[in-house]
Amino acid sequence: MKSFKRTTKFKKQAGVTLMELIAGLTVMAIIVGGAMALYQNAMSSQQTTQLTQDLAAVRASVKQIWQGQGSFGASGTNLNSVLVTAKRIPTSIRVDSTTTPPTLTHAGNGNVVVTSAITSFEVTMTNINEDICIPLLTGAQGWLSVSVSGGTPVTSFPVSPPDAVTACAAGTTIAFRGN
């Protein structure tokens, strides 16, 4: 009996071709890029929420401590020391008590300074990115005024998104004035 040996022109593929590897890496890069974009969006949203909550807590604390006083002190007086001593700073704001007055640092690694304006007070937040500034302004309620980087104070609330975009392009420091 004769043995038949089958010969084929094609060998069985034993690995991945270069084109398949490139296609797979491209798909992975798209997935990673999308995940990073979602992560950045989530972080920005979380930071906006945190700063909004911190701002509301600081405002409530100032009002509570100085309730019935008629004045928040001499104009320009830093109120951070009183707030820190009274333990009225939200735990999400870092407090450095080694400086006088204490340095308060918010989630965006900027400073929070609360000062008196005699019959009103001002909460100034530095290092606020534009993507966080816009929702902070559009969500601002109950303040006498809000100004960005020393610009014209906004006194009509709520702030419209186009006005917030224009104001936030001016800088990274926001001053909220309340009473």
CATH number at residue 81: 3.30.1690.10
Q: Is residue 126 part of a domain?
A: yes
Tell whether 131 is covered by a domain.
yes
Percent of the chain clearing pLDDT 70 (strictly above)? 91
Q: Map residue 59 onto helix, strand or coil.
A: helix
In a domain, 164, yes or no: yes
103-145 pLDDT per residue, tens: 999 988 999 999 999 899 999 999 999 989 999 999 999 999 9
pLDDT of residue 40: 75
Residue 125 falls in which region: left (phi positive, over 0), alpha (psi -120 to 50) or beta:
beta
How far apart, in whole angstroms, are the C-alpha atoms of residue 139 and residue 57? 15
Q: In this structure, what are the phi and psi dihedrals at residue 80, rounded to the nearest 5 degrees?
A: -55, -40
Look up the pTM and report it: 0.77
Q: Is residue 104 part of a domain?
A: yes
Q: Is residue 8 assigned to a domain?
A: no
Residue spans of beta strands (DSSP E) within 65-173: 94-96, 103-105, 111-116, 121-125, 145-148
Q: Is 10 domain-assigned?
A: no
| Whether residue 150 has pLDDT greater than 80 | yes
**Is 168 among the domain residues?**
yes
User: Which amino acid belongs to residue 167?
Assistant: A
Average model confidence (pLDDT) for the chain?
Answer: 88
Determine the 3-state secondary structure of 78 from DSSP.
strand
* Rounded Cα distance, 176 and 155, in Å: 10
H/E stretch holding 177: strand 174-178
Q: 41 lies in a domain?
A: yes
Residue with tokens 């400073």: 111
In sequence order, which residues have a C-beta less than 8 Å from that of residue 130 and are 6 or more positions away?
168, 169, 172
What backbone phi and psi angles, to 5 degrees, belong to 82? Answer: -65, -45
- Give the chain's domain count: 1
Q: Measuring CA to CA, which residue among 153, 158, 151, 149 is closest to residue 177?
A: 153
